[in-house]
Chains A and B, each alone.
Chain A
Amino acid sequence: DIQMTQSPASLSASLGETVTIECRASEDIYNGLAWYQQKPGKSPQLLIYNANSLHTGVPSRFSGSGSGTQYSLKINSLQSEDVASYFCQQYYDYPWTFGGGTKLELK
């Protein structure tokens, strides 16, 4: 199985700050990567697919980048509604696997 290592596990940032979350795959996943946002008590919501494509309706302050085994999610100008957990997921190979998650809080 492809292992997805996400960092950091938790993150505290101020409003307006830029935040970056990293995800490393145990092998090349050829941009088969998605990012999800999950707020407490809610289901995950798709943010980014194919490593760098913004899902419909997602604010443009979210962006994804990377290739090979290294990927990142960047949130520009952090808003209060961005407080959530974030997960990466590879869908290049079965079984599809997720990173362990990053919990983003306000400082």
Chain B
Amino acid sequence: QVQLKESGPGLVQPSQTLSLTCTVSGFSLTSNSVHWVRQPPGKGLEWVGAIWSGGSTDYNSALKSRLSISRDTSKSQVFLKMNSLQTEDTAIYFCTRVPGYPPFDYWGQGVMVTVSS
């Protein structure tokens, strides 16, 4: 069945780089897109960016200068890298699937990332 699972460090120091991995199963990255969505504690959802089935990427313009999304199709993994982290980047980060056409139909469990010294 379709599954997505995020992994990465729970704590990142300010100004450092965040690296997250989304490991998927039950579907192909070459026929589905994977997106990252984040949620600050107790707040709403924010679309972060995406890697499309063809390998192209789109980023939230507010984060674009700090963000990179890539993938390894052989390992069924999608990677998020965000640099120059600040406290306002503290959030639960979810990876989620778009099956060729929107919206998001499956989500990972999320990983809590805290930016603090």
Smallest CB-CB separation from A4: which chain B residue? B44
Question: A residues within 8 A CB of B88?
Answer: none
Question: B residues within 8 A CB of A99?
Answer: 44
Q: Are B47 and A44 in contact (CB under 8 A)?
A: no
Q: Give the B interface residue count (CB, 8 A).
A: 17
When chains A and B are docked, how far (Å) is the Cα of A1 from the Cα of B46? 12
Interface string of A40-83 (1 = CB under 8 A from B): 00111110010000010000000000000000000000000000
Q: Are B107 and A91 in contact (CB under 8 A)?
A: no
Return the contact of B108 from the options A43, A95, A97, A100 (Cβ within 8 A): A43
Kindly state whether residue B79 has any CB partner on chain A within 8 Å: no
Question: B residues within 8 A CB of A32?
Answer: 102
When chains A and B are docked, how far (Å) is the Cα of A32 from the Cα of B104? 12
Q: Are B44 and A43 in contact (CB under 8 A)?
A: no
Return the contact of B44 from the options A1, A91, A98 (Cβ within 8 A): A98
Interface string of B47-91 (1 = CB under 8 A from A): 100000000001011000000000000000000000000000000
Smallest CB-CB separation from B95: which chain A residue? A43
A-B Cβ contacts below 8 A, count: 48
CB B37 to nearest CB in A, in angstroms, measures: 8
Q: Is the interface of B mostly helix, strand, loop or mixed?
A: loop
When chains A and B are docked, how far (Å) is the Cα of A98 from the Cα of B109? 19
When chains A and B are docked, how far (Å) is the Cα of A53 from the Cα of B102? 12
CB A64 to nearest CB in B, in angstroms, measures: 12
Smallest CB-CB separation from A101: which chain B residue? B44
Q: Are A34 and B45 in contact (CB under 8 A)?
A: no
Beyond A98-B47, A99-B44, whether A45 also contacts B102 by CB under 8 A is no
Q: Are A44 and B107 in contact (CB under 8 A)?
A: yes
* Residues from 91 to 117 in B contacting A, C-beta threshold 8 Å: 94, 96, 102-105, 107-110
Please report B residues at the A interface, Cβ cutoff 8 Å: 44-47, 58, 60-61, 94, 96, 102-105, 107-110
